[in-house]
């Protein structure tokens, strides 16, 4: 009975959609003010009539550029603040975006909807008068990295982007669903047919070679048990120059930027991309 119920549940979750990849949380657990950061609490309109929540963190020094941060599949910008709170001190503005259905953002999450959401954030940054619209870099983690790669390949704002940092992303929605299904004895026998129900219309691996000539930096921890490091290697191989791959020793999922040495190296990479 347990087996039959589990299979039914998985079938309902995976049937014909990627909704299972989104695990939003509405309440904020903290704000930038909690950690001593100045910020603007923004509401951004989408082209399909929704309002999104975002935080803008201004650089504490004359800004080298602006980072658009795309978080992973769970919770919201308040729990992912730890990935980027240190960047304003190092000379970068940061815009943290909550996709539709996350935090205070309206709507229900979806992959196509998230593409519109990212575009809304870019449109806002390009129009903002106190930043340089020619110096924008995307920093995207996990699911955000997968979403970001497809957006970067097809964005109407490509000319404004100086680079993209893709941290702990997966190669495809179907691939990672299959891997997770094979990880349990209960679902392993059905991993192939169930994974085929997941659409791969927005496959990151297909988008990666189309991002050039925007410089790409792939980050991935060698101890990532959520998304194995081979996903980063395959994305890097598929991408065209200019590109780099940093495999971070000892780092688990989206934990590479916890290491001060990696932060310093990233600041150098960003500065080089943002300097004329």
pLDDT band (50, 70, 90) for residue 235: very high
Three-state SS string over 166-182 comes to: EECCCCCHHHHHHHHHH
Pairing of the two strands 161-167 and 136-141? parallel
Category of 142 on φ-ψ map: left (φ > 0), alpha (ψ -120 to 50) or beta: left
Q: What is the pLDDT of residues 107-119, one digit of tens each?
A: 999 999 999 999 9
Nearest to 214 by CA among 176, 165, 262, 261: 165
CA angle 101, 103, 105 (to 5 degrees): 50
pLDDT band (50, 70, 90) for residue 183: low
Q: For residues 73 and 21, is the Cβ–Cβ distance under 8 A?
A: yes
Query: Is the confidence at residue 2, as pLDDT, over 80?
Result: no
> What domains are defined for the chain?
2-274 (3.40.50.1820)
Q: What is the pLDDT of residues 135-171, one digit of tens each?
A: 999 999 999 999 999 999 999 999 999 999 999 999 9
Nearest to 227 by CA among 164, 160, 179, 275: 179
pTM tops 0.85: yes
């Amino acid at each position: 009975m347990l087996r039959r119920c589990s299979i039914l549940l998985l079938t309902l979750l995976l049937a014909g959609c990627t909704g299972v990849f989104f695990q939003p949380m509405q309440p904020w657990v903290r704000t930038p003010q909690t950690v001593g950061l100045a910020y603007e609490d923004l509401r951004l309109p989408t082209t399909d009539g929704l309002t999104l929540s975002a935080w803008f963190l201004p650089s504490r020094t004359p800004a080298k550029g602006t980072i658009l941060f795309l978080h992973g599949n769970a919770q919201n910008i308040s729990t992912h603040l730890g990935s980027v709170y240190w960047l304003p001190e190092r000379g970068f503005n940061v815009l943290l975006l909550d996709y539709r259905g996350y935090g205070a953002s309206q709507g229900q999450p979806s992959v196509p909807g998230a593409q519109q959401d990212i575009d809304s954030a870019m449109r806002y940054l390009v129009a903002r008068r106190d930043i340089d619209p020619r110096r924008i870099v995307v920093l995207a983690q996990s699911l955000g990295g997968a979403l970001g790669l497809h957006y970067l390949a097809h964005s109407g704002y490509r000319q404004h982007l100086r680079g993209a940092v893709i941290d702990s992303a997966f190669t495809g929605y179907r691939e990672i669903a299959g891997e997770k299904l094979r990880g349990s004895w209960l679902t392993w026998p059905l991993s192939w047919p169930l994974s085929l129900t997941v659409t791969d219309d927005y496959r990151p691996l297909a988008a990666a070679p189309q991002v050039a000539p925007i410089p790409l930096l792939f980050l991935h921890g060698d101890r990532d048990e959520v998304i194995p490091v081979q996903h980063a290697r395959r994305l890097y191989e598929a991408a065209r120059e200019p590109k780099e791959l940093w495999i971070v020793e000892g780092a688990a999922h989206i934990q590479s930027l916890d290491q001060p040495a990696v932060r310093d190296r990233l600041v150098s990479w960003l500065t080089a991309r943002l300097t004329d």
